[in-house]
Amino acid sequence: MSMKFLNPTRRQFLAGSAALGAASMTGLKPAFANVDWKKFAGTTLEVNLIKSPRGDILQKYQKEFEELTGIKVNSEQTPEQQQRQKAVIELTSGKPSFDVIHISYHVQKRQFEKGGWLADLTPFLKDPSLTEPSLTESDFAEAGLAFAKDQNGRFGGLPFSVDYWILYWNKDLFAAKGVEYPKTFDELVAAAEKLTDAASGTYGFVARGMKNANTPVWASLMLGYGKSTVENGTLQTDTPEAIEAATLYQRLMTKSAPPGVTGFNWAECQSSFLQGKVAMWLDGIGFAPPLENPQKSRVVGKVGYGVMPKGPNAQAAPTFGDGIGVTEGSSNKEAAYLYCQWAISKEMGARLLQTGSGVPFRNSILNDPEVRKNVTMPQDWVTALSESAKVSKLCLPVIIPVTEFRDVMGVGLTNLLGGADPATELKRATEEFRPVLARSES
Amino acid sequence: MTTAAPTMTRLAQDAKAKKGKSRLKPSYWPFVVPALVIVGAVIIFPWAFTLWMSANEWHLGGDQRFVGFANFARIAGDQRFWESMVHTVVYTVLSVVAPLVLGTIAALVFDSKLPMRGLLRGIFVMPMMATPVAIALVWTMMFHPQLGVLNYLLSLVGIGPQEWIFNQNTVIPSLVLVETWQWTPLVMLIVLGGLAAMPRDPFESAEIDGANGWQKFRYITLPMILPFMMVAVIIRSIDALKSFDIIFAMTQGGPGTASETINIYLYNVAFAYYDIGYGSALAVVFFIVIITMSLALLYLRQRTKWNS
């Protein structure tokens, strides 16, 4: 794919540099120098955000965008599940009430592509009057591009924040039993079992057991066996690798996890870990800030952040991601694009990273020593992040019925915790889901 | 007599004219129109549309096509639907019986001459005033197997930790516990109304005849408050049958599908899987179930009226 903004000519490069220099002399912020930000002054944008620390950051600094562009922004944050439902219903109508939408690529990518709900941002990315020179395709992490681009190479939204799954570990509990951080799945099991002491209410491992929420846990383990849940449009959920991953999930969750884990979502896992009762917790890196908050946590300063241990066939950091895009039905597409560009700008990305609210997809932000210097999270967290980026792999399948996939597989996984046979449960769930997947693309 | 005849004739004519006065009636119609429009728009149209959708296959974001009764045929073979039906029945029965028994006992207690009766009654009805989702969040924390206060309290009396809503076998009784805590006061208020309306004479006669406390309750109080208890049963049944907020906020139908009632299932189908056609078919079936049950309960209520 050839893109002008990716390969600037010498003249364009010089023009860009000159403009950058001039802008810095006039006091404009360098990151926003080359674009005619005031072009759409007076426009009003409706922005639909997911309730999250990412949404909070965008709202907190919204005034800066309004001052920069003269565009008025009305933004709204809605809890994740409700936001997804509301968005789909509105987008189906063809006349959504919002211009900009914050989406969860790992759930909605294929659905949005099939519905044609997001405007193609590729022409805007090529337009120097709309896009600052530092925003180039090569600046995005590979996972970000895999999320944002459709099969024809068009950008449906811009990659906003990535979430890698990591292993949180309690250094005190590990030290007390003389256990080292596990580097492989076998070591993970051994450590989890050694650290479990039901009599004192301490457990070696916790992860989501609740239906739907538990599917990414199993899918994460499956990546270590070298398989994704769907490959080339075909379900891999009853393959030997899937069954091995489910057996591992069953063992960890029945032998080393706290009682009642069957009903745990991330919040219950986080509570147990915050209380210092659990030695390891597998979940998204974005859940870290409360662990270092003395008002909420009993494990401040004791938490280790580790990259996902290596499986028998691969080491993979399960990857999830958010994007921010412009709706096809919007009549203010260019102004809305400016908002998206601002949202993933260096300044905003740095704020995201420094507060631990999210992780930008842009390498130029992640690798900037100045940005890193002011990160409030421990150094371990930053290291886990960089290490995860190197072995990043999309965790959930890029299909339309992601929620139904998570539910159907999730019920099978929950049954495992009650003692069911992994092979039988996965075969049953796969057969149940197969027609749903076939119908979705027909 | 001569004057009477024309009078009669006039009366007859008037009556005839009155009969034919239906030409005046249409003038009343405009007053009914706003109500008709509203009923049509908010009740009849959504229902007709749901019925129509139930005969279509339509995923949001995809194409729509007419499939006749195929969605209903799918329901017949849908194991998850039948499981959710069983959960709904178990949940409803428990959520009606427990508050009914406890509410009636509470009403009898508050009907007696208790010191500080008004204050205690006020405290007792407080759960009813709280928002279900807020209640659900608080109870979820209390139910936490490791950190919840309930297991701590049990440990004080030597009972081991329970898994409450986090176990497939105990999740429905635990949810019913919350439902009972919230809605026992409503039953108490209804039955208390019945107790206040009771005549004293039968009790005096019974006392003269030497009836003991249990006999007075069994043969006088209970039959007399039965119609009120039936009202409570009808209200609670309909409420429990369509209960959504507490279950959704606490378990979302889990663990697995152990607390998934029809309501939760059809919500998932329509708004999580975006399968609007099948979700509508489920809604139609659920509506028929509610109507049938309500009619049965209304019939029972007629049977228990004082005058029958």
Helix A333-343, helix A62-69: angle, nearest 10: 130
In single-letter form, the type of residue at position A420 comes to: A
Q: Could B253 and A211 be called an inter-chain contact, meaning their C-beta atoms sit closer than 8 Å?
A: yes
Q: What is the mean pLDDT of residues A366-380?
A: 91
* A411 vs B251, B256, B271: nearest CB: B256
Give the pLDDT of residue A33. Answer: 57
* pLDDT value of residue B307: 60
Token code pair at residue A345: 């700008």
CB-nearest to A262 from B144, B168, B272 is: B168
Residues of B in contact with A262 (CB under 8 A): 163, 166-168, 254-256
Query: What are the structure tokens assigned to A80, written together?
Result: 């994740």
How big is the A-B interface in CB pairs under 8 Å?
A: 91
Q: Are A155 and A149 in contact (CB under 8 A)?
A: yes
Question: A166-318+398-441: same fold as A44-163+319-393?
Answer: yes
Distance of CA B130 to the CA centre of its chain: 18
pTM for the model stands at: 0.82
CA A137/CA A3 separation, integer angstroms:
9
Q: What's the number of CA atoms in the CB half-sphere (13 Å) around residue B228? A: 22
- Report which of residues A60 and A27 the model is more confident about: A60
Mean pLDDT within A119-137: 93
- Give the mutation candidate from A88, A407, A416, A442 for the B interface (greatest B CB count, under 10 A): A407
CB contact under 8 A, A263 and B253: no
Please count the other Cβ atoms lying within 10 Å of the Cβ belonging to residue A290.
15
B171 touches chain A (CB under 8 A): yes
Contact flag B144-A212 (C-beta cutoff 8 Å): no
Task: Check if the beta carbon of residue B154 is closer than 8 Å to that of residue B162.
Answer: yes
Closest CA relative to residue A337, chosen from A138, A161, A132: A132
Q: What's the full length of chain A, in residues?
A: 442
Three-point CA angle B298, B301, B304, nearest 5°: 160
Give CA separation, A174 vs A199, A274, A387, B128, in Å.
Answer: 17, 15, 21, 47
Interior/surface letters B115-138, b for 16+ CB within 10 angstroms, e for the rest = eeeeeebeebbebeeeebeebbee
Q: Chain A closest CA to B262's CA: distance in Å? A: 16
For the segment A190-209, the average pLDDT, to the nearest whole number, is 95
At residue B61, the pLDDT reads: 77
Parse chain A into domains and list their residue ranges. Answer: 44-163+319-393, 166-318+398-441
Put simply, the answer to whether A260 touches B144 (Cβ < 8 Å) is: yes
At residue A301, the pLDDT reads: 94
Alpha-carbon distance of B80 to B3, in angstroms, equals: 82
B133 contact A CB<8A: no
List the domains of chain B with CATH numbers: 78-274 (1.10.3720.10)
Q: Going along B43-145, which residue ranges are E strands?
A: 56-58, 64-66
Within 208-237 of B, beta carbons closer than 8 Å to A belong to: none
Question: Could you tell me if B254 and A211 are in contact, meaning their C-beta atoms sit under 8 angstroms apart?
Answer: yes
Provide, as residue numbers in chain B, all residues whose Cβ is less than 8 Å from the Cβ of A209.
Answer: 255
Between A263, A415, A440, which is nearest B251 by CB?
A263
ipTM score for this prediction: 0.77
b/e code A25-60 from CB counts within 10 Å (16+ = b):
eeebeebbbbbebeebeebebbbbbbbbbbbebbee
Q: Which residues contact A286 (CB under 8 A, 6 or more apart)?
A: A53, A161, A163, A356, A357, A358, A359
Two tokens at B276?
A: 């609007």
Region A130-152 average pLDDT = 93
Distance from CA of B290 to the nearest CA of A (A): 27
A263·B163 Cβ contact <8 A: yes
pLDDT per residue, tens digit, chain B (308 aa), is 344 445 555 655 665 555 555 555 667 888 889 999 999 999 999 999 999 999 999 888 778 899 999 999 999 999 999 999 999 999 999 999 999 999 999 999 999 888 888 899 999 999 999 999 999 999 999 999 888 999 999 999 999 889 999 999 999 999 999 999 999 999 999 999 999 988 989 999 999 999 998 999 999 999 999 999 999 999 999 899 989 999 999 999 989 899 999 999 999 999 989 999 999 999 999 999 989 988 998 888 888 776 64
**B147 touching A, CB under 8 A?**
yes
Average pLDDT rounded to a whole number, residues A232-240: 95
Partner-chain contact B272 A404, CB within 8 Å? yes
Q: Does B170 touch chain A (CB under 8 A)?
A: no
Inter-chain residue contact A89 with B273, CB threshold 8 Å: no
Note whether B254 contacts A404, CB cutoff 8 Å.
no
Q: Are B61 and A117 an interchain contact pair (Cβ–Cβ within 8 Å)? A: yes
Could you tell me which chain B residue has the CA closest to the CA of A200? B146
Is the Cβ–Cβ distance between B182 and B135 less than 8 Å?
Answer: yes
Identify the three-state secondary structure at position A154.
coil
How many CB atoms sit inside 10 A of residue A328's CB?
A: 17
- Check CB contact under 8 Å for A211 and B256: yes
Q: What is the pLDDT of residue B21?
A: 53
- pLDDT of residue A1 exceeding 60, the answer is no
Nearest Cβ partner of A92 from B61, B161, B256? B61
**pLDDT value of residue B112:** 87
Nearest residue on chain A to B257, alpha-carbon basis: A411
CATH number of A44-163+319-393: 3.40.190.10
Q: Which CATH class is domain A166-318+398-441?
A: alpha beta
- The whole-angstrom separation of Cα B211 and Cα A104 is 71
Q: Would you call B61 an interface residue with chain A, using a CB distance cutoff of 8 Å?
A: yes
Contact present, A59 and A75 (Cβ < 8 Å): yes
- For residues A264, A266, A271, A275, the Cα torsion angle rounded to the nearest 10 degrees is 100
Burial grade of B250 (CB within 10 A; 0-12, 13-18, 19 or more): buried
pLDDT > 90 in chain A, percent: 79
Which tokens belong to B8? 């009669």
Q: Which DSSP letter does residue B42 get? A: I
Residues from chain B that touch A400, judged by Cβ atoms under 8 A, are 61
- Region A165-194 average pLDDT: 97
